[in-house]
């Protein structure tokens, strides 16, 4: 493992805490920093590596378990009021992935509204994930009440498609699970999907909590890690600020979650490098980041604001948050 500078020194070198970059005395040094950041490639540009790192993340974290706890304990009450007594409900899943979480939510919807039929629009840009979702549906009995419409597209493309087709259909339940990092303007995306809600409709957004290790990592290294075309560094704190500025009321929930990132601190560990890619959203972060940036990120990941160390393991704060909003009034 390479020798790391102190946390303070490393952060100062890459402009971590001072996002205004005023610590640099001349424009040449600023240009060097921005060139360094812009040379890093986004992980989502390599779908194969992204899927591999994502699967490892799921193995090393309690992410899906904490989502399931929320779905089991809290979601039914949220879903109880939707539909306004209708016999048919329209659902849109934005960034549905391989469908496991979608189907669990649909099962809870069925329990609360046992006699309804469901039109389920699936919006997912990854052909691999969409294929896995279709396989899951084909293997799961008792889904005859759901009509699946498969949309291999991003949220932005779906919005364009909806507008071009001049669609008037309204949705009773829209969910965005861990996807607001991959849109250019999260606020505009939220506003569009909120505009699709029918009477008593609900828009549910799940993403990392502003109080999580992710929040600290992104607040510190927003300029160095984030792709300017895609607002990857977004937390529930950012979404709440946006909704507050628009005067939109919301319900919010905190979901405790953790992630074992111990392998990240073993130089050259293949799985550790995959996890670092996922944490930073940078393709081959260990190989392409400057020594200063890599040292600073590793130091911060180990900092008590992000992780706790227990029994020789480094456990990252992976807390999630859920925000639910109603039809625009």
Is there a binding annotation on residue 160? no
- Residue 2 CA to residue 27 CA, distance in Å, equals 30
CA distances from 131 to 116, 136, 151, 207 (A): 26, 9, 12, 24
Residue 324 three-state SS: strand
318 annotated as belonging to a binding site for a ligand:
yes
Alpha helix locations (H) across the chain? 7-14, 27-38, 47-60, 63-73, 75-79, 100-112, 127-139, 155-164, 186-195, 213-225, 236-246, 270-280, 285-288, 291-302
What is the C-alpha to C-alpha distance for residues 128 and 103, in angstroms, rounded to an integer?
17
CA-to-CA distance for 26 and 95, rounded, in angstroms? 43
Interatomic CA distance for residues 102 and 99, integer angstroms: 5
Nearest Cα residue to 223 out of 31, 38, 26, 24: 38
What is the CA angle 29-221-276, rounded to 5? 115
Q: Binding site: what residues are annotated?
A: 63, 318
Annotated binding-site residue numbers for substrate = 63, 318
């Amino acid at each position: 493992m390479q020798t790391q500078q102190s946390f303070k020194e490393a952060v100062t070198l890459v402009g971590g805490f001072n996002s205004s970059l005023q610590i640099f005395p001349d424009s040449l040094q600023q240009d060097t920093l921005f060139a360094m950041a812009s040379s890093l490639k986004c992980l989502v540009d390599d779908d194969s590596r992204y899927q591999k790192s994502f699967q490892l993340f799921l193995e090393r974290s309690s992410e899906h378990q904490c989502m399931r706890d929320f779905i089991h304990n809290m979601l039914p009450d949220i879903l109880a009021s939707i539909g306004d007594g209708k016999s048919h409900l329209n659902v849109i899943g934005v960034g549905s992935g391989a469908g496991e979480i979608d189907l669990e939510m649909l099962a809870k919807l069925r329990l609360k509204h046992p006699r309804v039929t469901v039109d389920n629009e699936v919006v997912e840009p990854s052909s691999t994930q969409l294929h896995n979702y279709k396989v899951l549906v084909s293997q799961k009995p008792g889904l005859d009440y759901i009509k699946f419409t498969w949309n291999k597209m991003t949220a932005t493309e779906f919005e364009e498609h909806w507008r071009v087709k001049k669609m008037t259909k309204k949705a009773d339940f829209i969910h965005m699970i861990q996807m607001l990092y991959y849109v250019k303007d999260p606020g505009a995306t939220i506003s569009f999907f909120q505009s699709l809600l029918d009477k008593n409709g609900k828009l549910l957004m799940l993403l990392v909590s502003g109080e999580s290790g992710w929040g600290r990592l992104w607040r510190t290294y927003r300029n160095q890690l984030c792709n300017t075309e895609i607002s990857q560094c977004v937390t529930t704190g950012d979404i709440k600020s946006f909704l507050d500025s628009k005067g939109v009321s919301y319900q919010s929930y905190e979901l405790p979650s953790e992630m074992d990132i111990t392998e990240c601190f073993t130089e050259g560990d293949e799985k550790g490098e995959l996890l670092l890619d996922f944490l930073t959203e940078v393709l081959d972060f260990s190989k392409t980041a400057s020594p200063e940036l890599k040292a600073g990120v590793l130091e911060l990941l180990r900092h008590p604001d992000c992780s706790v160390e227990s029994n020789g393991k480094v456990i990252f704060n992976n807390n999630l948050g859920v925000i639910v909003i109603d039809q625009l009034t």
